[in-house]
Chain A
């Protein structure tokens, strides 16, 4: 049974990208609510809150921008993997960088998928395939 509070956490500081991610989720046909936090600190606080309060929401999928203010995406990943309640959540990292080095670094820190942000709308929508792949079945 899908959890009542099943939702997607988007960690992204750029509203332009938040908009595109929202459209992508919608286009993928996922109805789950989307929760957006704008920097790395806000993201880690989100996990800490979930750990403290079992009634607080815990994301079913995290879409994480790697280049974040206050705390870098890799730090957020490390923090997440140590969280009591949220550690199992799949993470799709989104980044402008196409460098193999950056890709490796996020996988080493526990990311499940990597998406290089394209500069064409239709290509951006391909993020939807990854979301469908990693969003827990039965929670759409």
Chain B
């Protein structure tokens, strides 16, 4: 209620005080009336409740409260309180906030709405004041302010640059780490377009980011380059969330930019080290083939030409020599295949998994018909990967499913795929011998074999190759299995554009 409104209502009630008092008694807001000298002539029950005391009519002057303080905490003498000022003909600011103390020491905040009554000649005859309790609001404000201070302390002390912008891409806030990372002070950059920070060849990222934000999407850990004030580039990881107003409308975004220069450098070093290792493995396996070939071919010639002159034990030794060389040859050629996986750089290829699977099954038709296996599949998607890679995956997984079939059942193998976020999860399910839980991780290791060569042939490199392929596409491969019942190998292929906008 405004002071004007209050004044009007008091005028209306003039002349029927008893009725007025009944009306005021019922009000849940503290109200009191004074004479022109400020002596209290009336107060309502709500005034007792608020002030924590029962004023004495004719004794208490200016206000029902016990002690009044200004917002800054200084004691305000009663004769200088808003009601006193009003009665003395002064101007009282509307909506001021005062603090009062009750006799029990508790305090409350209120906003007074003092008004004066005048006679026909304009002389002040009485005053009426309404005290609105604003303690809850002040408390909420204080909590909000404390939270805001806490938040700004967190933002200020963060090692990450925290920046906010509106939907036009104009920077609206800028923390200390943003200053440190980008070289601009808040004064320099707030109000400027965020594109200032984006290298020229990446300017198209901003409209894409804004489009995703408008759609209410978050951009998570988007690795990109940004430009410092001095023009140098900075590797960062961006997490951008839409900011909504009270009505839920998206009005801007908050960005957290993490400096990943060191991480990138470390990644580069690891990549180089890996490349070196790969190169080594490639050369080693390549160069090993040469002497191995001689061992093989000459042990064969020895058997062919001198076999008749050798006794049984010598022939047995020669057999071991040949078997060893043959096995090593297989290992070396598989190792070579393993190192070759990463040599095909993933680019913009796409593979229709239905076509790939058909090709693979045609190539495996012999082993499929020999084992009597039944291979079925659901409709499969087209995925962003090199056809040869998908082929190798199917070949190894289906090949294993056939190889490790249960002697008690006809092998049944099913290939399926379902959407997973923005990518796909493939599954190759069999009813074979299964894998014990303790080997679920290790089966993907290089040269990892769970069986002797007598039981099942192989070098133990197939799943390692699968894992290497899948990891090249930032996917994952794992196995779910119940020993004796079968296994399901699953692998994920994320969408190639997962890097974000």
The chain A residues found within 8 Å of chain B, CB to CB, are: 14, 16-17, 20, 67, 96-97, 117-121, 124
Contact B329–A119 (Cβ < 8 Å): yes
A120, chain B: closest CB distance, angstroms:
7
Contact A117–B293 (Cβ < 8 Å): yes
Contact partner of B297 among A67, A97, A124, CB < 8 A?
Answer: A124
- Kindly report which residue of chain B lies nearest to residue A123, judged by CB atoms: B297
A124: chain B residues within 8 A (beta carbon):
297
How many A-B contacts at CB < 8 Å in the complex?
30
Contact B304–A121 (Cβ < 8 Å): yes
- Kindly report which residue of chain A lies nearest to residue B296, judged by CB atoms: A119
A14: chain B residues within 8 A (beta carbon):
290, 294
Q: Mark B281-301, 1 if CB is under 8 A from A, else 0.
A: 000001001101110111011
Contact B294–A17 (Cβ < 8 Å): yes
Q: Which 3 A-B pairs have the closest CB atoms?
A: A16-B294, A119-B296, A119-B293
Q: Known: A14-B290, A96-B290. Contact between A120 and B296, CB under 8 A? A: yes
Number of interface residues of B (CB under 8 A): 14
Contact B290–A20 (Cβ < 8 Å): no
A118: chain B residues within 8 A (beta carbon):
293, 297
Contact A67–B296 (Cβ < 8 Å): no
Report which residue of A16, A20, A118 has the largest number of chain B beta carbons within 10 angstroms of its beta carbon.
A16
Q: How far is the CA of A61 from the CA of B93 in the complex (A)?
A: 113
Q: How far is the CA of A86 from the CA of B119 in the complex (A)?
A: 134
The chain B residues found within 8 Å of chain A, CB to CB, are: 286, 289-290, 292-294, 296-298, 300-301, 304, 325, 329
Report which residue of A96, A117, A119 has the largest number of chain B beta carbons within 10 angstroms of its beta carbon.
A119
A96: chain B residues within 8 A (beta carbon):
286, 289-290, 293
A17: chain B residues within 8 A (beta carbon):
294
Contact B286–A97 (Cβ < 8 Å): yes
Contact partner of A121 among B289, B292, B301, B329, CB < 8 A?
Answer: B301
Contact A119–B292 (Cβ < 8 Å): yes
B339, chain A: closest CB distance, angstroms:
12
10 CB < 8 A contacts A-B: A14-B290, A16-B294, A17-B294, A117-B293, A119-B292, A119-B293, A119-B296, A119-B325, A121-B297, A121-B304
- Kindly report which residue of chain A lies nearest to residue B329, judged by CB atoms: A119
Q: Known: A96-B289, A97-B286. Contact between A120 and B294, CB under 8 A? A: no
A16: chain B residues within 8 A (beta carbon):
294, 297-298
Q: How far is the CA of A118 from the CA of B333 in the complex (A)?
A: 13
- Kindly report which residue of chain B lies nearest to residue A117, judged by CB atoms: B293
A58, chain B: closest CB distance, angstroms:
30
B66, chain A: closest CB distance, angstroms:
96
Report which residue of B289, B290, B297, B301 has the largest number of chain A beta carbons within 10 angstroms of its beta carbon.
B297
Q: How far is the CA of A17 from the CA of B292 in the complex (A)?
A: 12
B294: chain A residues within 8 A (beta carbon):
14, 16-17
Q: How far is the CA of A109 from the CA of B273 in the complex (A)?
A: 33
B77, chain A: closest CB distance, angstroms:
98
- Kindly report which residue of chain A lies nearest to residue B301, judged by CB atoms: A121
A84, chain B: closest CB distance, angstroms:
34
A11, chain B: closest CB distance, angstroms:
16
- Kindly report which residue of chain A lies nearest to residue B305, judged by CB atoms: A121
Contact B290–A120 (Cβ < 8 Å): no
Contact B289–A120 (Cβ < 8 Å): no
B301: chain A residues within 8 A (beta carbon):
121
A97: chain B residues within 8 A (beta carbon):
286
